Amino acid sequence: MSLITSRLEILKEEDKKDLDVARVSVDEESSNKRKLYIESYGCQMNFADSEIVASILRENGFATTSKIEEAELILLNTCAIRENAEQKVRNRLQHLVPMKKKRQQVKIGVLGCMAERLKTKFLEEEKIVDMVVGPDAYRDLPNLINEVEDGQKAVNVFLSREETYADITPIRLDSNGVTAFISIMRGCDNMCSFCVVPYTRGRERSRDPFSIVKEATELFEQGYREVTLLGQNVDSYKWKGVNGELNTTTFANLLEMVASINPDLRVRFSTSHPKDITDDVLYAMKKHENVCKYIHLPAQSGSSRILDLMNRTYDREWYMGKIDRIREILGVECGISQDMITGFCTETEEDHHDTLSLMDYVKYDYGYMFAYSERPNTPAAKKLTDDIPAEVKNRRLTEVIAKQQLHSLERNQMAIGKVHKILVEGFSKRSAEHLCGRNDQNKMVVFPKENFKKGDYVNVLVTECTAATLIGKAVEEVLV
């Protein structure tokens, strides 16, 4: 099995909210509360879950801290998507051993997808761990913590068909106060053969749309100006209503409901599975100016033969047809990004070239690219052989990344000379004299701050770019 560092962050210099990157909890005001330190790995859904965990534990006498040395309880919210994501957590646990020796009273819990995958084996493999909690068992945390404090080890990895944590208001950790994530569904019913998520997150279930609209409305009232609706496959969102009060709410309906809260609240969503994104969703995007024209549409491969082995349920031509439809309804400006996997089982040079040529066809704005990492007990691990050598996976990955970089630059160059509406997220990482924020297509834009501030919408004329960032200056009016 290869240990390839598969996540390469190449493009968004200003955007570090990425997969496999740990994020830690913030300092909550608290004088007499017990201190909790949470570190999150993996995708935005895991980060969103950490905010639910912080909320549950706040009700039970804990306040988050960013200082691990003062915490009584340390929680690692883990990811299992690739082997290196798990290795990162194991390294982190090893790192904590000396601290645990010094402060025996500190309790260490692992949450999330790796906890769900390994279950009680986690306790055997990593002696430092006191508690293992799967993604659907967070309401049980207070009980589990009590058990641990009584000197026992505690485990709850029960996966639910109903849990959506709809009634829990997340505590926004590490927030810029302008953009926030809202989980609209949990789990995944697709069976992509390479993927561990259906086993770590369980069956797909959608959250009550009214609780979603309420959360988005409250965020807007608190000054937030952008929400991203999150799910592994948002386009299959479906809420059946209660007692026939309501017809089924689809994702297109939900998008419209959230977009109608206020025209100044931007709405984004992720991730779209190509098989599920409908014309209704595309038309809802077109109808509402505040639904951002950006779609994350992972292809995974450009080869129909590989897509079949991956069980993605579409082929190359079908995917291209979907791209054509997006361009037809939303225009060529609509941002599109991809996920690609290189070196999946049996992938030939020809298959790899199909991936490169699909990229040439689409010209994605951005991409997340990975070398295939076999995950235990997935259909691919059971039925196929992980037969592509690490060097080949990596070489193909490098080629895919190089192509993406060219396309990102090309797409960014299209933005030059135009005025873009930017939602300011804060200062640029490089200079306190510059602000940064995104345009509709999710591209990061940097410009001199003048008198603007976080949360403002600013019209920026883009004058230059790199493959990662657009650069410009504020102008009075939108040019046509």
Q: Segment near ligand SAH (CB under 6 A), from 23-31, 163-171, 192-200, 442-450?
A: 192-200
190 sits near ligand SF4 (criterion: CB under 6 A): yes
Which residues ranging from 74 to 93 are in contact with ligand SAH (CB under 6 A)?
A: 81-82
Q: Is 292 annotated as a binding residue?
A: no
Q: Rounded to an integer, what distance in angstroms lies between the CA atom of residue 44 and that of residue 64?
A: 19
Answer yes or no: are the C-beta atoms of 234 and 272 closer than 8 Å.
Answer: yes
Residues forming beta bridges with residue 267, ordered by sequence position: 227, 291
E-state strands within 153-293: 154-156, 179-183, 185-186, 205-206, 226-230, 238-239, 249-250, 266-270
Residue of 156, 179, 211, 233 interacting with ligand SAH (CB under 6 A)? 233
Give min distance, CB of 190 to ligand SF4, in A: 4
Across 368-384, b (16+ Cβ under 10 Å) vs e yields bbbbbbbbeebbbbeeb
Q: Among ligand F3S, ligand SAH, ligand SF4, none, what binds residue 341 when CB lies within 5 to 8 Å by partner kind?
A: ligand SAH
* Distance (Å) of CA 329 to CA 21, 25, 283, 317: 35, 41, 7, 18
Instruction: Indicate the burial class of 363 (C-beta count within 10 angstroms; 0-12, 13-18, 19 or more).
Output: middle
Which residues ranging from 219 to 238 are in contact with ligand SF4 (CB under 6 A)?
A: 232-233
Q: Among ligand F3S, ligand SAH, ligand SF4, none, what binds residue 6 when CB lies within 5 to 8 Å by partner kind?
A: ligand SAH
Q: Is 345 annotated as a binding residue?
A: no
Q: Is 113 annotated as a binding residue?
A: yes
Nearest Cα to Cα of residue 338 among 306, 373, 375, 363: 363
44 sits near ligand SAH (criterion: CB under 6 A): no
In the chain, DSSP finds a helix count (H) and a strand count (E) of 14, 22
Give min distance, CB of 80 to ligand SAH, in A: 9
Give min distance, CB of 2 to ligand F3S, in A: 18
Q: Segment near ligand SF4 (CB under 6 A), from 104-112, 188-196, 206-214, 217-225?
A: 188-196
Q: Is 465 annotated as a binding residue?
A: no
The binding site for ligand F3S (CB under 6 A) comprises 42-43, 45-46, 79-81, 112-113, 196-197, 200-201
Give min distance, CB of 230 to ligand SF4, in A: 12
Nearest Cα to Cα of residue 195 among 131, 133, 273, 121: 273
Q: Which is nearer to ligand SAH, 366 or 372 (CB)?
A: 372
Residue 46: left (phi > 0), alpha (psi -120 to 50), or beta? alpha
Give min distance, CB of 79 to ligand F3S, in A: 3
Binding-site size for ligand SF4 (CB under 6 A) equals 9
H-helix or E-strand containing 425?
strand 419-427
Q: Show the CA angle centred on residue 273, arms to residues 372 and 139, nearest 5°.
A: 85
Nearest Cα to Cα of residue 323 among 302, 297, 300: 297
Q: Which is nearer to ligand SF4, 367 or 437 (CB)?
A: 367
Q: Among ligand F3S, ligand SF4, ligand SAH, none, what binds residue 198 when CB lies within 5 to 8 Å by partner kind?
A: ligand SF4
- List, as residue ranges, the binding site for [4Fe-4S] cluster: 43, 79, 113, 188, 192, 195
Q: Binding site membership: which residues?
A: 43, 79, 113, 188, 192, 195
